[in-house]
């Protein structure tokens, strides 16, 4: 499981049948300090996340298990929306109402 920030929506006119009706989002992976750590990825949105929101994601085989039809070919899925991050190394980050 890892953190990410929603950057935008991905539109696909042709999808695997198990992905019909499922929203795809572009997400940039983040480290624990909420800094970009890798290239953006396309994930399925199972939580109705919005633009700019910090989310937590599952990757690999487990990502496909978040969908109504299991084992659909996906590499990542949003499994939660983050409200707060608090570590010993960084200041507490709290979700604001202004996204």
- Give pLDDT tens digits for 35-90: 999 999 999 999 999 999 999 999 988 888 888 887 889 989 999 999 988 887 76
> Could you give phi then psi for residue 57, rounded to 5 degrees?
-125, 155
pLDDT at position 8? 97
- Give the DSSP letter string of 40-94: -EEEEESS---TT-EEEEEETHHHHTTSSSTT-S-SEEEEEE-SEE--SSS--EE
- Tens-digit pLDDT profile for residues 8-42: 999 998 999 889 889 999 999 999 888 999 999 99
Residue spans per domain, the chain: 52-68+76-87
């Amino acid at each position: 499981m890892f953190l990410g920030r929603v950057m935008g929506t991905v539109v696909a006119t042709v999808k695997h049948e198990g992905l019909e009706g499922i929203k795809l989002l572009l997400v940039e992976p983040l480290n624990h300090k909420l800094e970009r750590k890798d290239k953006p990825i396309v994930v399925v949105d199972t939580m109705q996340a919005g633009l700019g929101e910090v989310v937590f994601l599952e990757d690999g085989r487990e990502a496909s298990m978040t969908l109504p039809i299991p084992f659909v070919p996906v590499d990542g899925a949003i499994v939660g929306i983050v409200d707060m991050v608090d570590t010993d190394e960084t200041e507490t980050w709290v979700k604001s109402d202004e996204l």
